[in-house]
Amino acid sequence: MFSVRAVVHSTPSAKIAIAGIPLLVRTVLTLWSAGIRVFTIVGAEIATREYAEHEIRRVAGDVRLHWVDGIAQDPEHRSLACVVITKAEGIFAAPAVTRLLMRNRLRNVRLAFGDRAGLWLLSPADHQSLVADADFSYALVRARAGDFCPVTGEADVERAERVLFRWSIKPTDGMVSRYFNRPLSTWISRRLSHYDIEPRQLTAVTALLALATFAALLTGTLGGLMLGCALYHVTSVVDGLDGEIARAKYMSTPRGAALDTGVDMASNLLFMIGISVGTAEVFGDDYLWMATFIGVTAAVSIATMASVLRLGPSGGSFDVLQLTIQQRLAAFPRLSRGFYYLNAVFKRDTFAFLFALMGLAGRPQVIIPWLLAFGVSTWFAAILVNTPAMLRANRDAVLPPHLKTAPALS
């Protein structure tokens, strides 16, 4: 791995908070998440340095920070092989930094975000010329659309936060989550991000909703079944809040992911048990035998997947199964495309949405036995078939992006 450091130039907008984090801090943490550990921060006001350093080290305890008034005072000048230079005048997506660093053999590259800001990858001997606005020769590469949102004043904050939380959407999301649940949850998350709320507190809210769903289903009435089905979908929407806040505020941890997954699986199991018992009470005991099969299969599936994660890639996220299958099918485009659409149908968000519609329509008995029995059986089969691949998989290849730890580039 090559050596690299970052030079971040403070700007008049550097103190503007996006989702509760000042722009200067967010710029440093975005570069840190791509693996950069050595930083020179130029031109920041003395009054802002102490707070900014505290916030940076709260997330990134392994950084080396140098605060200077001018680039000539940079103690790391010419000491490392590459320099990434940018200005704190907007938010940019971390993958853009990774793509730039992949060009490390092509020095003096500019990754341009429209006509505004950019990221420069330079040799140490050349970056001072750029800072001085002198003529500079570099290869220009256009960033992908949507990778940057400029922030020059408070009027830009709302738009930048919408962009930021759009970036927090997981690539493993199903279609219902992507086009229905996430617009609702990110609307809530944007507003919660202005307060000192931790992801685990939002995970606790999801757990309470799961218990409320379970209690409604066990009332043994049609109205209770209808309410429980609706609450299960609400739980699916609210479940996105903790992850969105964690990713937007650099709070993602394997332990948090494991807690979130545990609550998800518990809420799924409680729903299956609750809908099974409630349906049997309302529509007759004929449903109990299939309900038993569903409950046992779901519990064994969860236990198997948890054991595979512990013995294999860890990370705490059941998305490892989906990512493992995608990796195995990467060489077969048609199968990969087919899996994409099939997986979208079998995601929890799709089931929760369908269950809510059926419940509110007064037809909760349709959920048992056919949909749940088919769903948990297919899931269990997928776990068994892919267990060997998950156990021997490269950890970084099958973990969700927000749980990967970028290797230090210095």
Q: What is the pTM of this model?
A: 0.83
Model confidence at 86: pLDDT above 70:
yes
Q: What is the signed CA dihedral for 117, 121, 125, 130, rounded to 10 degrees?
A: -10
Count Cβ atoms below 10 Å from residue 95 Cβ, excluding itself.
Answer: 14
Angstrom distance (rounded) from CA 285 to CA 271? 18
Of the listed ranges 102-111, 145-154, 296-305, 370-379, the one predicted with least confidence: 102-111
The tokens for 286 are 């004929």
pLDDT at 188 over 90: yes
In angstroms, the CA 177 to CA 170 distance is 10
Q: CB of 37 within 8 A of CB of 410? A: yes
Tens-place pLDDT, residues 321-354: 888 888 888 888 888 888 877 777 777 888 889 8
pLDDT in tens, 150-163: 998 999 999 999 99
Asked whether residue 133 carries a pLDDT value surpassing 60, the answer given is no
The residues, ordered by sequence, that sit 6+ positions from 367 with a Cβ below 8 Å of its Cβ are 229, 275, 279, 355, 358, 359
- Total residue length of the chain: 410
Q: What percent of the chain has pLDDT over 70?
A: 87
User: Could you give the CA distance from residue 73 to residue 163 in angstroms, rounded to a whole number?
Assistant: 35
Mean model confidence pLDDT for the chain = 84
Residue 331: per-residue pLDDT: 86
Q: Please work out, in degrees rounded to the nearest 5, the angle formed at the alpha carbon of residue 259 by the alpha carbons of 316 and 328.
A: 25
pLDDT tens-digit series, residues 169-186:
877 787 888 889 999 999
Rounded to an integer, the average pLDDT of 132-160 is 79
pLDDT exceeds cutoff 60 at 127: no
Contacts with 346 (C-beta within 8 Å, 6 or more apart), sequence order: 375, 378, 379
What percent of the chain shows pLDDT beyond 90? 34
Q: What is the pLDDT of residues 245-272, one digit of tens each?
A: 999 999 888 788 888 888 998 998 899 8
Q: Which two tokens stand for residue 128?
A: 């001072």
Paired tokens of 94? 């971390």
Q: What separation, in Å, do the N-terminal and C-terminal C-alpha atoms of the chain show?
A: 8
Domains of the chain by start residue, with CATH:
4-155 (3.90.550.10), 168-403 (1.20.120.1760)
Give strand pairing partners of 112. 118, 142
